[in-house]
Amino acid sequence: WLGWSWSGALLALCVFWVKMFFVTGGYHRYFSHRSYKTSRIGQFVLAFGAEATAQKGVLWWAAHHRWHHKYSDKPEDLHSPVQRGFWWSHLGWILDARYKETRFEAVRDLARYPELRWLNRHDMVPPVLVGLAFFLIGGVHALIWGFFVSNILSWHISFTINSLSHVFGSRRYDTDDDSRNNVALALLTLGEGWHNNHHQYQSAACQGFRKYEIDITYYVLKALAAFGLVWDLRRPPAHVIRGEATPKRAIAAAGGTGEQEQIAA
């Protein structure tokens, strides 16, 4: 409709990387796994930015992701490609009305914040406001490229962690699922592609456990920590990096919520 635009494509790519950080650093590493700490204002910013990608409420997202880890690649897993195939795991499940409700029992640690409950109920408010901002600043050109195209990219790139990272890649750890490390997905998703690492030790703020495993989300978190905006970024203990088994007591000693410890165990 608008025709090709190099400036539009550049805008879409730049906004895409920002949105991907809110998916990986917000929805996933903060709200789902509580792998680092921030202030209440910082928490709200992460929630707003994550929901601006239109992947539903942060409580909904975190609850379903914790369920995924509890039953990873088992019949109860909502988006396992091993159980239900590529298209279902990629986007079929998130469009299915049967899974629209939030499992509040899985996110009691988050549900105690009224602002998060409000955002979860009104999850379309952030994307509508961000889309309106793009339109007011740059017109239809910015709305289409900066909001819609970037959002479509962020959806499909982030969804590959469900649909592809349990199928293609290598397995450093003998986890009880089919999670895999995939360098291409790690680069596209700012570090989420080190998925076998993540399933071995879920409460770490980093998913690239070794220096050569590029994890841009973690680098951004480290930069934010340098300014005091986030803190207590968890790292996997040395025995995990070496590939040794993680005893449950070590997981519990890492801190966090009871839900986290149960999921990680």
Residue where the block lists tokens 């349990």: 166
CA distance between the termini of the chain: 51
For 153, half-sphere exposure in the C-beta direction (CA atoms, 13 angstrom radius) is 22
pLDDT-based confidence at residue 241 (cuts at 50, 70, 90):
confident
pLDDT at residue 209 tops 50? yes
Quote the CA–CA distance of 201 and 239 in Å, as a whole number.
11
pLDDT at residue 16 tops 60? yes
Q: Which of 262, 260, 261, 263 is closest to 30 using CA atoms?
A: 260
98 DSSP 8-state letter? G
Give the SS3 label for residue 125. Answer: helix
- Which of 21-30, 148-157, 179-188, 255-264 shows the lowest per-residue confidence on average (mean pLDDT)? 255-264
pTM of the model: 0.89
pLDDT at residue 204 tops 60? yes
255 to 30, 43, 138, 232: CA distances (angstroms): 14, 19, 45, 11
| Average pLDDT estimate for 61-66 | 96
